[in-house]
Amino acid sequence: NVRKTTGPDNIPGKVLKECADQLTGVLIDIFNRLLHQAVIPTCFKTAKFIPIPKKKTSSLNDYGPVALPPIVIKWFERLVKDHITSRIPLIFDPCQFAY
């Protein structure tokens, strides 16, 4: 969603979406290196934490943290997840959401 707030990289989704043609080759190279080296750089391990209010907000305990990672690593994680799930057999009930 291009209207979401940015992570620690401050790169809006809209920028990546509009520049997708120009960035595809670069991102493929980065993603392939991450897979071959099996190492995630520190800059991709950071997150911006946003406090989200629960019901009422009279103290800090009334907020729940939401972590926003860099958008590039979110794309990478989604690609890896999609790749893995496309290759494993469907052994769980599609209505099962936990365990």
pLDDT tens-digit map of 63-93: 889 999 999 999 899 999 988 888 777 777 7
Q: What's at 83, amino acid-wise? A: H
What crossing angle do the helices spanning 71-87 and 20-37 adopt, rounded to 10°? 70
The verdict on residue 99 lying in a domain is no
Range of the domain at 36: 13-87
Give residue 99's pLDDT: 62
Q: Is residue 34 part of a domain?
A: yes
Please check whether residue 7 lies inside any domain of the structure. no
Domain count, the chain: 1
In angstroms, how far apart are the furthest CA atoms of the chain?
49
**pLDDT tens digit string along 18-48?**
999 999 999 999 999 999 999 999 989 999 9
Residue 33 lies in a domain: yes
Model confidence at 1, in pLDDT bands (50, 70, 90)?
A: low
In a domain, 48, yes or no: yes
Q: Tell me the Cα Rg of the chain.
A: 17
In a domain, 63, yes or no: yes
- Global pTM reads 0.71
